Structure 1
Amino acid sequence: MVAETVEPTTAAPYIAGDEAVLRVENLTKHFVKKRLGRPTTAVKAVSDVSFDLAPGETLGLVGESGCGKTTLSRLILRLIEPTSGRVIVEGKDVTRLSKRQLREFRQRVQVVFQDPYASLDPRQRVAASVAEPLTNSKLSSDEKLRIVHETLERMGLQRAQARLFPHQFSGGQRQRIGIARALSVTPKVLLLDEPVSALDVSIQAQVLKLLQELRDEYRLSYILISHDLSVVRHVSDRVMVMYLGRVVEMAPKEELYTAPRHPYTASLLSAAPVPDPDVERTRERIQLLGDPPNPASPPPGCAFHRRCFQAELVAQKLGDSEVTVLEDGRRVPRTCAEKQPVLVTQDATKHWSACHFPLSREAVATVTA
């Protein structure tokens, strides 16, 4: 495969500028493990993550389990405190808000959870669940009920169903109720945490169509967390790929899916099924070696170099002085084994990647066919 030379840049991967409804700046979260009351090791769950979100934009967030996606969403919601970095929503630094201000902020950023049944209190009627985010508002009971009825109707449900309990609905209807609850306070940003993974395929399509309609109607911005790359491609405008707490690639949707630059992204795409059976039978597969490293003791250099097919191919063209030999005998470039890659862009396509030897378009043509 052909390696391309990249000159590092210190610019952040922002595209929305002053219009950004949400901006994350160098966000970092380390969980410190203690033994006998004393700190021992730090789990680097999120490391130096930066991005922004434009009004009406959907940003897809993908990566293996344990890569930091959920921790990042909890940091954005300020359910946990960051080790360093900032989250800015509509110009306000969320990390510095008081408890009272935080309640107001959470009306601007809402979340839709993966399991629609677990996210609803089975003892509460639907009307009470949907009105729950309005608890701290100064609205009267009649006004709250009006909002509940109007929001449920927009979700394709009937007003009379507000008197029912969650168990009296199907899975797709419960997810619509969860979306209604998030929308009751007219937020600007929705965090969608695997919003359709627990639903049948036909119901998935209905909920995704509804989410797209709501985004266009209310000019909402979404952060979509999903393992389903086909869902991410269908809904997202941009895609951000995380590995071991770091952003390794970020690009417009079609650019990333047709010409990934990071070997990890190419590996994820090669594992995703393709609808065309002829292509599915003949296309190249990338086999990842082993499991992700322990975030409490990540390897030096690039965290992906021990699983990277590109590193081995590049090492074949290098001299012995430029190569590091791993414990299992595989050879990788010394740069990969010793130096953490920087998130950089090569051109004006807004395509960012963190790889010392990014892939060329020709190299991944068979993988992403």
Structure 2
Amino acid sequence: MTALDPQIQDLPFVAGEDAVLHVEHLTKRFGRTSRWSRSGRTVTAVDDVSFDLRRGETLGLVGESGCGKTTLSRMLLRLIEPTSGSVVVDGQEVTGLGGADLRRFRQRAQVVFQDPYASLDPRQRIAATIAEPLASSSKTRAEKQEIVTGLMERMGLLPGHAHQFPHQFSGGQRQRIGIARALSVTPQLLILDEPVSALDVSIQAQVLSLLQDLRTEFDLSYILISHDLSVVRHVSDRVMVMYLGRLVEVADKRDLFTAPRHPYTVSLLSAAPVPDPAVERTRERIVLRGDPPNPANPPSGCAFHRRCFHATAIASGMPDGEVTQLDDGSRVPTACVSTVPLLAPQGSGHWSACHFPVTDAAAAGVTSAL
């Protein structure tokens, strides 16, 4: 990609830079039927998502459970089919691939799963597990053995481990085996789905350091899905924040952690623990009202408006004609209830989907402690 269509300048695409992944207006709706009605209902798990991933970049993806992160990653890997939208990997549209073309694509895009034990076949020896993605390749047995041996050595595994089974390894070792399996076909894109959440803290640091080294060594691009903001901050170059199927903020790591523009991002940062006990006791916390909305019956306008502390604060200074009172008695700007906010630029490389973006002063009490 060397230039952007003027109609999509306001989306988080990489202008004038090479993008290994280009996602445009990706949407996934799941059908739902009711016992009491013949009419079908749909749940929108991913709603009109667009972004780019630079070559050699780590792009973090954060959000509450159920916001659509895993569904998005599965569409990128073609494990589930999108309802609409486009996924382009290294210049090739992948949403319509099949047969041999799809198998070749699967060699370019791999995944490291959250649970290193559940992702490995307990009946398969480690050497066979690492070599499994090579089954459809044209490489000889000797070439496959050389790849497996080299990857095991790179992951810090001993030659004798090749004939052992997953239950004979620690969690950290099993995750290294999963990483080796993903790298056996030399992919360009690696999706890391909570890759260290099941590991002890000391092992987490080792695996994250390994992943950073491998990114340079193998010329990889990562999408890192995580609930742990400290992991995202340590590893990512840019961060995407997702809420109820939509991207609500995309920014460089530094901008997102120091100058968030969406109230949901501010609330996530306020919940992130700080290692200094004195700071932790005195820092500002934001407790959101209520539970996340039901994706089968989402609220109108901004999906976050019923829980948004910022909308309530903004409404207090607005004329009555521009404010709507909700059924819980709170008041929010009418625009938040009536109109879905779209991603809009908030500075260089920073996008936020909010009618009333948070100012530096409003976020200062949260971000100053991070």
TM-score, normalization by structure 1: 0.96
Report whether the alignment pairs 1:219 with 2:224: no
Q: Could you tell me the percent identity over the aligned residues?
A: 69
SS in 1 for 2:14: coil
1:359 corresponds to? 358
**Aligned equivalents of 1:86, 1:368: Cα separation in 2:** 35
**Aligned equivalents of 2:30, 2:222: Cα separation in 1:** 27
Per-residue CA deviation, residues 277-310 of structure 1 (Å, 9 max, x unaligned), is 2211111111111111011110110000000000
Question: Does structure 2 conserve the Cα–Cα contact (< 8 Å) formed by 1:345 and 1:353?
Answer: yes
SS in 1 for 2:43: strand
Per-residue CA deviation, residues 124-179 of structure 1 (Å, 9 max, x unaligned), is 00011000100100111111111101011111112221111111111100000000
Partner amino acid, structure 1, of 2:47:
S
Per-residue CA deviation, residues 6-37 of structure 1 (Å, 9 max, x unaligned), is xx986221126451111111100010112469
Per-residue CA deviation, residues 33-62 of structure 1 (Å, 9 max, x unaligned), is 124695521101000000111111000000
1:3 corresponds to? none
Partner amino acid, structure 2, of 1:14:
F
1:368 corresponds to? 367
SS in 2 for 1:365: helix
Question: Does structure 1 conserve the Cα–Cα contact (< 8 Å) formed by 2:17 and 2:54?
Answer: no
**Aligned equivalents of 1:276, 1:359: Cα separation in 2:** 26
2:266 corresponds to? 266
**Aligned equivalents of 2:8, 2:196: Cα separation in 1:** 37
2:114 corresponds to? 114
SS in 2 for 1:222: strand
Q: Which moved more, 1:66-75 or 1:14-23?
A: 14-23
Question: Does structure 1 conserve the Cα–Cα contact (< 8 Å) formed by 2:172 and 2:203?
Answer: yes
Question: Does structure 2 conserve the Cα–Cα contact (< 8 Å) formed by 1:16 and 1:52?
Answer: no
Offset at residue 368 of structure 1 (A): 1.3
**Aligned equivalents of 1:9, 1:286: Cα separation in 2:** 34
Change in 2 beyond 3 A, CA 1:17/1:73: farther
Question: Does structure 1 conserve the Cα–Cα contact (< 8 Å) formed by 2:23 and 2:51?
Answer: yes
2:86 corresponds to? 86
**Aligned equivalents of 2:182, 2:264: Cα separation in 1:** 33
Question: Does structure 2 conserve the Cα–Cα contact (< 8 Å) formed by 1:9 and 1:345?
Answer: no
Question: Does structure 2 conserve the Cα–Cα contact (< 8 Å) formed by 1:46 and 1:72?
Answer: yes
Per-residue CA deviation, residues 311-333 of structure 1 (Å, 9 max, x unaligned), is 00000011111100000110000
Partner amino acid, structure 2, of 1:360:
T
Tell me the number of residue pairs that the alignment of Structure 1 and Structure 2 aligns.
Answer: 361
Offset at residue 107 of structure 1 (A): 0.4
Change in 2 beyond 3 A, CA 1:39/1:178: farther
1:20 corresponds to? 19
SS in 2 for 1:21: strand
**Aligned equivalents of 1:359, 1:251: Cα separation in 2:** 14
Q: Which moved more, 1:156-165 or 1:86-95?
A: 156-165
Offset at residue 99 of structure 1 (A): 2.1
Question: Does structure 2 conserve the Cα–Cα contact (< 8 Å) formed by 1:267 and 1:287?
Answer: yes
**Aligned equivalents of 1:304, 1:172: Cα separation in 2:** 37
Report whether the alignment pairs 1:68 with 2:68: yes
1:173 corresponds to? 173
The unaligned stretches of length 5 or more in structure 2 are 1-6
Q: Which moved more, 1:277-286 or 1:262-271?
A: 277-286
Partner amino acid, structure 1, of 2:31:
V
Change in 2 beyond 3 A, CA 1:331/1:353: same
SS in 2 for 1:293: coil
Q: Which moved more, 1:331-340 or 1:10-19?
A: 10-19
SS in 2 for 1:317: coil
Partner amino acid, structure 1, of 2:148:
V
1:195 corresponds to? 195
1:301 corresponds to? 301
**Aligned equivalents of 1:192, 1:303: Cα separation in 2:** 27
Q: Which moved more, 1:34-43 or 1:187-196?
A: 34-43
**Aligned equivalents of 2:238, 2:220: Cα separation in 1:** 15
2:3 corresponds to? none
Question: Does structure 1 conserve the Cα–Cα contact (< 8 Å) formed by 2:34 and 2:41?
Answer: no
1:256 corresponds to? 256
1:118-137 maps to which residues of 2 (within 5 A)? 118-137=118-137
1:308-323 maps to which residues of 2 (within 5 A)? 308-323=308-323
SS in 2 for 1:87: strand
Offset at residue 218 of structure 1 (A): 1.4
Per-residue CA deviation, residues 204-248 of structure 1 (Å, 9 max, x unaligned), is 000000000000111210000000000000000000000000000
Question: Does structure 2 conserve the Cα–Cα contact (< 8 Å) formed by 1:55 and 1:221?
Answer: yes
Partner amino acid, structure 2, of 1:106:
R
* C-alpha RMSD of the superposition: 1.4
| Larger relative contact order (Cα-Cα within 8 Å, sequence gap ≥ 6) | 1
2:10 corresponds to? 11
**Aligned equivalents of 2:151, 2:39: Cα separation in 1:** 48
**Aligned equivalents of 1:29, 1:336: Cα separation in 2:** 24
Question: Does structure 2 conserve the Cα–Cα contact (< 8 Å) formed by 1:32 and 1:39?
Answer: no
**Aligned equivalents of 1:117, 1:346: Cα separation in 2:** 42
Partner amino acid, structure 1, of 2:234:
H
Q: Which moved more, 1:17-26 or 1:36-45?
A: 36-45
Partner amino acid, structure 1, of 2:354:
C
SS in 2 for 1:23: strand
